[in-house]
Amino acid sequence: MAPAMSTVSDARVGWRPPPRIANAWTRRALWIGAAAYAIVAAVTLDVDAARVAEGLTRAGSFFGGWLRPDFVTRWGDIRTGILESLAMAAVATVAGVLIAVPLGLAAARNLAAAPVYAAARGVLAVSRAFHEIIVAIFFVAMFGFGPFAGVVTLVVGSVGFLGKLLAEAVEEIDPAPLDALATAGATWASRVAFGVLPQVMPRVLGLALYRLDINFRESAVIGLVGAGGIGATLTTAFARYEFESVSAILILIISMVFAAEVISGRLRKALL
């Protein structure tokens, strides 16, 4: 009966799975390091308690305005802004796809020659490096205020996003059709047209729909620096302290993004 006793003592109630990091000291050092960092970072926050208290008393009027969204007073401006944002998103997505497809093909290791690959990857990396707002500041300086600068900004973002994901999709395709086409003596162009594009087009369409959604959301932001769209309307409403209109605009953006998500989910399911 002695072995049974030891089995009982082994099957303790508080069993725990083995830890992911085997060394106990590494584990402790990680926890201590994280805690120390959190303290250091929290100290640099430098919270001005008086200012926060003052602001929170203002929160009443702010959230009061929030709860009474006013769609009517500025409806003309809001309507124009929303329509402009939609137009910017549509044009930027289509232009983005048109530029991203050749760039994405050039940035795929299995299709492009080494120097072409490096150059295309470089262009894609640069186009994604800066935040849309910074890009917009430059295009507004170059092209002047208005939706044109906004569209160019969104195109840059779309190209970086779609190009990178398309290149990754192309690198993962089934190579058999490509080999077959090459064996049959097909040119590079027909290899791409019949061996690559049919395999990646559903994914490109799905990504383009997703990017349309992102572009609409971004168009609400780049208006802050003068690049048109609903963001311009939003900034104006903020500057006038018309929190009722701000609330109305944000509610519209949120519900449109929600609707777009439902619709694009359905469309993607239908396409794939």
Partner 1 sequence: MTPTLVQEGRREWHWRTPAERWARFGLTLVVVATVVAAASAISEQTTWVFVLDAGLQMRDLGMRMFPPNASYALTLGRPLLETIHIATLGTALGMAVALPLAYLCARTTTPSRRWVRPLALLALVTSRSVNSIIWALVLVVLLGPGLLAGVLAIALRSVGFVGKLVYEAIEEAPSLPITAMETTGARRMQALAFGLVPNILPTVAAVGIYRWEINIREATILGLVGAGGIGMALQASIDALAWSGVSVILLAILATVLLAEVVSARVRRGLA
CB of 195 to partner 1, least distance (A): 16
What are the residue ranges of helices labelled H in 145-196?
Answer: 147-171, 176-183, 188-191
In angstroms, give the least distance from the CB of 134 to partner 1: 6
Shortest Cβ distance from residue 69 to partner 1 (Å)? 14
Residue 22 to residues 14, 17, 35, 134, Cα–Cα distance (Å): 19, 12, 20, 44
Q: Does 209 bind partner 1 (CB under 8 A)?
A: no
**Given 148, 194, 199, 209, the residue binding partner 1 (CB under 8 A):** 148
Number of CB atoms found within 10 A of residue 40's CB? 9
Q: How far apart are CA 254 and CA 266, in angstroms?
A: 19
Name the one range near partner 1 by CB under 8 A: 5-13, 108-116, 169-177, 224-232.
Answer: 224-232
- Please say whether the beta carbons of 80 and 228 come within 8 A: no
Residues 9-68 that bind partner 1 (CB under 8 A): 17, 37-38, 41-42, 44-48, 51-52, 54-56, 58-59, 62
Estimate the share of the chain in helix, then strand, then coil, as percent rounded to the nearest 5.
Answer: 80, 0, 20
Phi-psi region of 206 (alpha: psi -120 to 50; beta: other; left: phi over 0): alpha
Of 77-116, binders to partner 1 (CB under 8 A) are 83-84, 86-88, 90-91, 94
The answer to whether 133 contacts partner 1 (rule: CB under 8 A) is yes
| 161 burial via Cβ count (<10 Å: 0-12, 13-18, 19+) | buried
The residues of the shown chain that bind partner 1, judged by CB under 8 A, are 17, 37-38, 41-42, 44-48, 51-52, 54-56, 58-59, 62, 83-84, 86-88, 90-91, 94, 129-131, 133-134, 137-138, 141-144, 146-148, 151, 217-218, 220-221, 224-225, 228, 234, 238, 250, 253-254, 257-258, 261
